[in-house]
Amino acid sequence: MSIYAVAAVWVGMAFVAALISIRAAIPVALVEIVVGAIASNTPGIREHVTQTEFTTFLATLGSVLLTFLAGAEIDPVSLRKHWKASLVIGFVSFLLPFAGAFTFCRFVFGWDLQAAEIGGIALSTTGMTPGN
């Protein structure tokens, strides 16, 4: 399959996700994830949608951009006003998923200590909730 046909399929999936997100009033990033999950589980799709180094680069760039945009939505005035609560929520929202993922990797998968630590960090989340 030519690179242009593969690009057309990828752009088509993004277009479908954009249309669905506009009609359903859901953020397009969430719909793109769902469309990608559906497309990747469709029988015979591997012939038409191949993962190349460039699509891996785009996926990495998109995840960094989404992370940046999520952080840009934090209200600095509210963050300064409620900094203690924000720190506690941010710390707990990292620590609990880290502890769970670390424990699972270490004792269920049987990974060594360093691998379980990396798994815990990779699977944990960080977050801040602005106050009222």
Per-domain residue ranges of the chain:
3-72, 76-123
Q: What is the pLDDT of residues 14-70, one digit of tens each?
A: 899 999 999 998 888 788 888 888 887 888 777 766 677 877 887 788 778 777 766
pLDDT recorded at residue 71: 66
Residue 6 has pLDDT above 80, yes or no: no
Spatial separation of the C-alpha atoms in residues 12 and 24, rounded to whole Å = 18
Radius of gyration of the CA atoms of the chain, in A: 19
pLDDT at 124 over 80: no
Residue 107: what pLDDT?
95
The predicted pLDDT at position 129 comes to: 39
The string of DSSP letters for the chain reads --HHHHHHHHHHHHHHHHHHHHHHT--HHHHHHHHHHHHHTSTTGGGT----HHHHHHHHHHHHHHHHHHHHTS-HHHHHHTHHHHHHHHHHHHHHHHHHHHHIIIIIS---HHHHHHHHHHH---------
* pLDDT score, position 132: 37
Q: What is the pLDDT of residues 70-113, one digit of tens each?
A: 666 677 788 788 889 888 988 888 899 899 989 999 999 999 99
**Alpha-carbon span 98 to 20, nearest angstrom:** 34
Looking at residue 127, its pLDDT comes to: 41
The per-residue pLDDT for 109 is 92
